[in-house]
A and B are shown apart, each in its own frame.
Chain A
Amino acid sequence: MIELKNLTKKYGKFMAVEGLSLVVPKGEIFGFIGPNGAGKTTTISMMAGILVPTSGNVSICGIDMLASPREAKKKIGYIPDRPYLYEKLTAMEFLKFMGDLYAMASDGFEQRAEASLTQFSLLDWADELIESFSHGMKQRLIMAAALMHDPQVVVVDEPMVGLDPIAIKMVKQLLRDLAAQGVTIFMSTHTLQVAQDVCDRIGVIHRGGLIALGTIEELRALASSDGGDLEQVFMILTEGKGGGR
């Protein structure tokens, strides 16, 4: 479960996120959408424990991120939007690195890692240096690594960037399967179709504040857009309040 209480982040005078409160229950896929510069990545960074909020707090499975970052981070699998990795390691070595960092047991690691690489169509590249990988391959490797330690919460920033249609389909199914197993998923995306396809609830953030929250139907009702898709709903909700910053 994820709980955000009055989360605020200021960069100097600029208010990136303002008083964001939100609860994402166990097993839910929550989509976080908004225009460029709305505060999505800042919120996700605070949830993943890589950015300290100016005020408010983040709780992951009941653990306060500020008070016990180590314990909270152990529960999270974080997938950033840009796949920066150690280019001189092989895919398998990178998974081992992440496994050790999250104190995973060494017994049976190789079999698990191979299964994970197979799932993400990377097994043939297991012993190749990451520097020879394409953007999409790196993104898939990060996903494999983020799920290796069986996280209870998955935080994803733009999951589909750089992925081919087959990988997108696979990732969508994977997210559904994880949620069915009780994993909480929080993902930010610009691909509104993906959000519409897999998310149980969607939050719309604009200029640092949450302007709408609910299921697709609830958002449609809020935007008075009968039968419109998420793109139309998004336009109606954000256009009235000015574009991105």
Chain B
Amino acid sequence: MAGNHIQTLLKPRWWGTLNQARGEKKNAGIVKLMIIGGLGAAFWVGALLICLRMLRYFSGVEQLGDILAWKFLSMVIVTIFSLLIFSSILNSLSKLYLAKDLKLVHAMPVEGYTIFLARWLEITLDSSWMVILFTLPVFVSYGVVYHPGVFFYITVVASLVLLSFVASALGSFLVMGVVILVPASRIRTIFVFLGLSVFILLYVALRILRPERLVNPEAFSATLFYFKSMTAPSSAFLPSTWCYDAVMAALQGAPLEALFHLGLSLSFVLLMIFVLVFTADFIYFKGVSRAQTSAARLFVKRRLELPLFRRFSGPVKALVTKEIKTFFRDQTQWSQLFLIGALMAIYIYNFKVLPLDRSPIKTIYLQNILSFLNMGLAFFVLTAITGRFAFPAVSMEGEAIWLIRSSPVSPRSFLWIKFFMYLVPLMVLTLLLIIATNVLLKVVPFMMVLSCVNTLFMVPGVVALGIGLGAAFPSFKSENPAQTVTSYGGLLFMVYSAIFIGGVIVLQAGPVYTILSTQFRGGALSGFSISWIVLSFTTSLLICIMMVILPLRFGEKRLLKILYY
């Protein structure tokens, strides 16, 4: 009976996926699939090649080679387990307590625990398929290097699947308990915030350890000694240890031992299912009821106009004020801001600790070449931030988009207002990155000016691409529009942005090198060099201008079609 109910409850999801696949226009669907598949395959193959190279390098290191390889495998599995838990916590909150269809589902004549189990299966699938798919190259590389046979691959898949069930069971169990204490609307913020804080702390700690010192031979001998002392096994009570032990046993040709460790994982999963069903029967519905209530506002002072925008026209004032207020009232955005702050600090810190003096290349050359390359790198950081904030800007309107459709504001004005709204903070942020790193690199004035001018012209291009493609591929019904950057449109944005940045950098590389080397040698530029420089910079400028106009036009055209036809 319960099995039938679970099957029925899962059907809308399955049918929805099927209908979506059928609904795609044939050609567009194939192109989309090919692009996503191609990028996925490229990442997969790239990861496999890197892992193979690393394992082959390890196997060349006497005595320590295997220890390093095992340690790496153990680190990968612990990381996978952490990712799975984090992902399942967020998914559990969304699917179990915040989903739009919960009221409908809970009104049905089925037991609370059946609804819970159906949702839990979805949570397990959603939070694990990507992690498993993209970490498989690591395991395949071990298979290629150590030739363990087919049983190893079966064990790997079985272990990862069981690890996913364990992680989602623990995640859902934790969420069910916490929701009883705090409303779900607040918990997502807390978990996102805590998770990102842990990530930032780990990252900062790792950065401050300065792993680049490993290339220093004196420090490396000490590190080797450290690794050798690290062969102690991990805790036997950790599910990641059972997974690691099973994979290791299969890798070393001990199938019975592998089966024993798989059995440990399986028995824990079965135990957790029992615990989950038991707990869900008692507290799941209570938590769902609590999640319906919204938290009270902390500050209620009325401020209808933001002083800075008082002089702007009505529609600009309306859209900018609305955007700023809704942005800062959405606590999930804050955690992202903290993350960006931390990443920027680390980015700048990286330049502070660069061992330029130990390089065989003349420092002044290196500083300026690095500054040029840094431009590209900073623009890639900009792409990531634009993808997270500017790309979903149109989708963030959600179902309230009818307000814009019925208002006397044209889609063109709407998009341009959005563009300028995101351009200003992103421009300030990128200029900060570029100027701070250039100051740390002590670059020549020419490089400082070039970097700033490039930033002034390229940032609008990247932001326009984000807003334009975000408008061309909107998702007004998404429960989490910030995630639209992982969609097909988001992928296109990333690819086009990378091509734009790469194109301009490549176009300017030759002329910049010529100018710098002439400056350092103290000579004069030839007529040919001057023409080449002028041509390159003019083409760059034209590309930058086109990158503002074309994406916004494309976005406007598509948005018009989506909203009004």
B4 within 8 A of A: no
Interfacial residues of chain B within 27-47, with CB under 8 A of chain A in the complex: none
Partner of A110, one of B304, B313, B330: B304
CB-defined interface of A54-93 with B at 8 Å, one 1/0 digit per residue? 0000000000000001110110101010101110111011
From B297, B305, B402, B410, give the contact of A69 (CB < 8 A). B410
**Contact in complex: B400, A85 (CB < 8 Å):** yes
**Interface majority SS (helix, strand, loop, mixed), chain B:** helix
Contact with A along B311-333 (1 / 0, CB 8 A): 00111011101100110011000
Determine which residue in B300, B403, B409, B410 has the highest number of CB atoms from chain A within 10 A of its CB, and name it. Answer: B403
CA distance A59 to B138 in the complex (A): 65
Q: Which residues of A contact B565 (CB under 8 A)?
A: 51-52
Task: Point out the residue from B322, B402, B563 that lies within 8 Å of A97, measured CB to CB.
Answer: B322
- A50-B405, A103-B314, A106-B305 are contacts. A129–B564 as well, Cβ < 8 Å? no
Q: Which residues of B contact A50 (CB under 8 A)?
A: 402, 405-406, 563-564
Q: How far is the CB of A116 from chain B (nearest CB, A)?
A: 14
* Interfacial chain A residues near B526, Cβ < 8 Å: none
A131 touches B294 (CB 8 A): yes
A104 proximity list for chain B (CB < 8 A): 314
Bin chain A's interface residue count: 35 or more
Residue B398 at the chain A interface, CB threshold 8 Å: yes
Which residues of B are found within 8 Å of A84, using beta-carbon distances? 398-400, 402
Report yes or no: A100 in contact with B406, Cβ–Cβ below 8 A. Answer: no
Contact between B305 and A101 (Cβ–Cβ < 8 Å)? no
Q: Does B408 contact A (CB under 8 A)?
A: yes
B302 to chain A: which residues have CB within 8 Å? 90, 92, 126-127
Q: How far is the CA of A132 from the CA of B185 in the complex (A)?
A: 12
B interface residue count range (under 10 / 10 to 19 / 20 to 34 / 35 or more): 20 to 34
Alpha-carbon distance between A80 and B304 when the two chains are bound, in angstroms: 25
Distance A98 CA – B406 CA, assembled complex (angstroms):
11
Contact between B304 and A48, CB atoms less than 8 A apart = no
Q: Which partner residue on chain B sits nearest A51 by CB separation?
A: B564
Cα distance A93–B563 in the bound complex, in angstroms? 25
Task: Given A49-B406, A86-B400, answer yes or no on A96-B304 (Cβ-Cβ < 8 Å).
Answer: yes
CB <8 Å contact, A100 and B314: yes
Q: Mark B363-404, 1 if CB is under 8 A from A, else 0.
A: 000000000000000000000000000000000001110110
The residue of chain A having its C-beta at the shortest distance from the C-beta of B400 within the complex is A84
**Cβ-defined partner of A102 (8 Å) among B314, B322, B329, B400:** B314
Give CA–CA (A50, B563) in the complex, Å: 7
A84 to B400 CA separation, bound complex (whole angstroms)? 5
Cβ-closest chain B residue relative to A94: B322
Known: A88-B326, A93-B304. A73 touches B406 (CB 8 A): yes
- List, in ascending order, chain A residues with CB within 8 A of B221's CB: none
Residues of B within 8 A of A129 (CB): 294, 297, 329
CB distance from A13 to the nearest CB of B (A): 15
- Contact string, B206-234, partner A, CB cutoff 8 A, digits 1/0? 00000000000000000000000000000
Determine if A103 and B315 form an interchain contact, defined as CB atoms under 8 angstroms apart.
yes
Cβ contacts under 8 Å, A71 to chain B: 408
Whether A100 pairs with B317 at a CB distance below 8 angstroms is yes
In the complex, what's the smallest C-beta–C-beta distance from B392 to chain A, in angstroms? Answer: 15
Contact present for B326 and A86 (CB under 8 Å): yes
Interface hits, A133-179 → B, CB 8 Å: none
Q: Give the chain A neighbours of B402 by CB distance below 8 A.
A: 50, 80, 84
Q: Which B residues lie within 8 Å of A102 (CB)? A: 314, 407-408
Which B residues from 261 to 300 make CB contacts under 8 A with A? 294, 297, 300
Which B residues are CB-close (under 8 A) to A109?
A: 304
List chain B residues, Cβ under 8 A from A74.
408
Give Cα distance in the complex from A70 to B329, angstroms. 31
What 1/0 mask marks residues of chain B from 402 to 430 whose CB sits below 8 Å from any chain A CB? 11011111100000000000000000000
| Complex A-B: 7 CB contacts under 8 Å | A51-B564, A51-B565, A69-B408, A74-B408, A88-B329, A96-B305, A101-B314
Q: Which B residues fall within an 8 A CB radius of A?
A: 294, 297, 300, 302, 304-305, 313-315, 317-319, 321-322, 325-326, 329-330, 398-400, 402-403, 405-410, 563-565
